[in-house]
Amino acid sequence: MSETSTSATNRRSAASQPDHARLNFDLDVDVCVVGGGLAGLTVALEAARLGAGVAVLEGRQIGWNASGHHLGTVLPGYGLPVGEVIERIGLQDTREVWSLSRQGMEFIRSIATEENMPGISLSEGALEVSNVDAGDGLVRRLQMLNEDFGTDAEAWQVDRVRGELKTDRYFQGIHYPKAFQIDGRSYVHGLASLALRSGARIFEDTPVVGIDSSGIRKRIVTPSARLRATHIVLAGNVHLGAPLKRLSDTLLPVWRYAGLTEPLGGRLAASIAFRGSVIDSEGIDHFRIVDGDRLLWASPETTWAGQPRRFAGAVARRIRTVFPELGRIAIAETFGGAIGQTVHGMPQVGQLRKGLWVASGFGRQGLNTSAMAGQLIARAMLWGDDRWKLFSPFELVWAGGVTGRVAGYFVGLWSRGSSAAAGALARHRERVLVQDRLREVRLAEANRQAAIRPQPRRPPPAGAPRGNPPQGRPRPIRPPSPLPTSEPRVPADRGEGEGI
């Protein structure tokens, strides 16, 4: 999912981070990283730890865009469903790239915990829920994750999901106990601090206006200085600017905004017991509890930029739709950022030409994948590690410009509409099934009561014999014999003179 926000407390502490100076003198380095977000800072940290001279050029401030404004959910995998990755590169290579995504997760966990980053607020567990009755599809996916990709995941049936989330919007779910969430703003500034301590140099307010990538030593031009470097890493996402427009055009800009509620007190715990991140498998809902009793909720994606405060009402309405028991919701803050979505859905990781590298297009799942890309590229430049070639089948594809953004907007509307319709139909079927079962239970109970209740005796018909009815097979009733008359019958005369 797109990461889009962080907690209010840690955002205030991160906002007090010291500024990094603008580059105003010429510089020679081994590695020049363009972009001071998650991917660029991970490259800088890893390359500096391996002994390279590193300079990071950021056109604005560290983590100003999506890298510093996200829900902080760290999951294995990529934005593209694993089945489609298998179709593209085969099962064996998919296993390897999936393993790399798990390594990206562990890199973040180790950095966040071992380095004791202030305000990181790490918590465990993530739950991916379905808004339709997943049934056999859930079982098949779970078997693939556990058996083929060694991912620690478990199935949650409907009762367990709804025991944690008091809503009928969701059915089954997949629980990732080793997934976790962090405060995104604290993490990106923590990366910058670690890179500085390792020897990297970071310059803010230093946009790149020109690049000459020919020759062994590349040239980078900024408004007030020039650099030379053996390697250039382009990690600026959709904001690389005019000198790299052809690369920027391979990314569809996607914005997602989030709202942080006012404290909700005990009513939040009564509606949401799960303390990790909750992600809708259809890409609509993404939320988690922060600061104990506040809800952090991301809005659906859009391909057009807007003022974050305009999305406060939409976020509040969505929360009330899913959890009506929460009642009236007040949104304290809204914020967001733009990510770069590739046409094929996988990140851009690799070498464009000798010494010119790209780490971009991380889309909906940027934390673990940006960490993975930073490690791969640093080790490729300095150690000759060629595992980045696993991403070569996912080539650079033009995203369609304005036409692509319009198409992406309407595709998003259609996807959300079809998902909402499918969810409504699933809930209707569930209600009908529940009603049918209740009807069957009532009918069975009525039959049971009828079987044990004594039947009232009916009066026998007129003329029927009294007493208990004969046992066994009833005999046919014969007509009664004629009754004798009062006078004896006299035989006919036998004639006169006859004797006895």
Q: Is residue 288 part of a domain?
A: yes
The model's pTM is 0.82
* CATH number of the domain encompassing residue 259: 3.50.50.60
Q: Is residue 482 part of a domain?
A: no
Angstrom distance (rounded) from CA 28 to CA 20: 19
Banded model confidence at residue 449, pLDDT cuts 50, 70, 90: confident
Q: Is residue 467 part of a domain?
A: no
Average pLDDT over residues 303-328: 91
Alpha carbon 119 to its chain centroid, in Å, reads 24
pLDDT in tens, 29-65: 999 999 999 999 999 999 999 999 999 999 999 999 8
Q: Is residue 481 part of a domain?
A: no
- The residues, ordered by sequence, that sit 6+ positions from 224 with a Cβ below 8 Å of its Cβ are 22, 23, 24, 206
Reply yes or no on whether the pLDDT at 474 is more than 60.
Answer: no
Phi, psi for 72 (deg, rounded to 5)? 75, 20
Q: Is residue 442 part of a domain?
A: no
Residue with tokens 């006919």: 492
Reply yes or no on whether the pLDDT at 313 is more than 80.
Answer: yes
Give the DSSP H or E segment for 353: strand 348-353
Q: What DSSP assignment string belongs to 174-243?
A: EEEEEEEE--HHHHHHHHHHHHHHTT-EEESS----EEE--SSSEEEE-SS-EEEEEEEEE--GGG--GG
Range(s) of the domain holding residue 367: 8-424
pLDDT in tens, 91-144: 999 999 999 999 999 999 999 988 888 889 999 999 999 988 887 778 788 889
Q: Is residue 54 part of a domain?
A: yes
Angstrom distance (rounded) from CA 335 to CA 337: 7
The pLDDT, as a whole number, for residue 196 is 96
Total tally of structural domains belonging to the chain: 1
The pLDDT, as a whole number, for residue 118 is 87
Q: Which of 261, 260, 266, 241 is nearest to 251 (CA)?
A: 241
Reply yes or no on whether the pLDDT at 4 is more than 80.
Answer: no
The pLDDT, as a whole number, for residue 89 is 94
pLDDT in tens, 67-80: 888 899 999 999 88
The pLDDT, as a whole number, for residue 98 is 95
The pLDDT, as a whole number, for residue 400 is 73
The pLDDT, as a whole number, for residue 153 is 94
Q: Is residue 445 part of a domain?
A: no
Q: Is residue 161 part of a domain?
A: yes
pLDDT in tens, 192-228: 999 999 999 999 999 999 999 998 999 999 999 999 9
Angstrom distance (rounded) from CA 212 to CA 215: 8
Q: Strands, DSSP E only, in 299-347? A: 331-341
The pLDDT, as a whole number, for residue 238 is 84
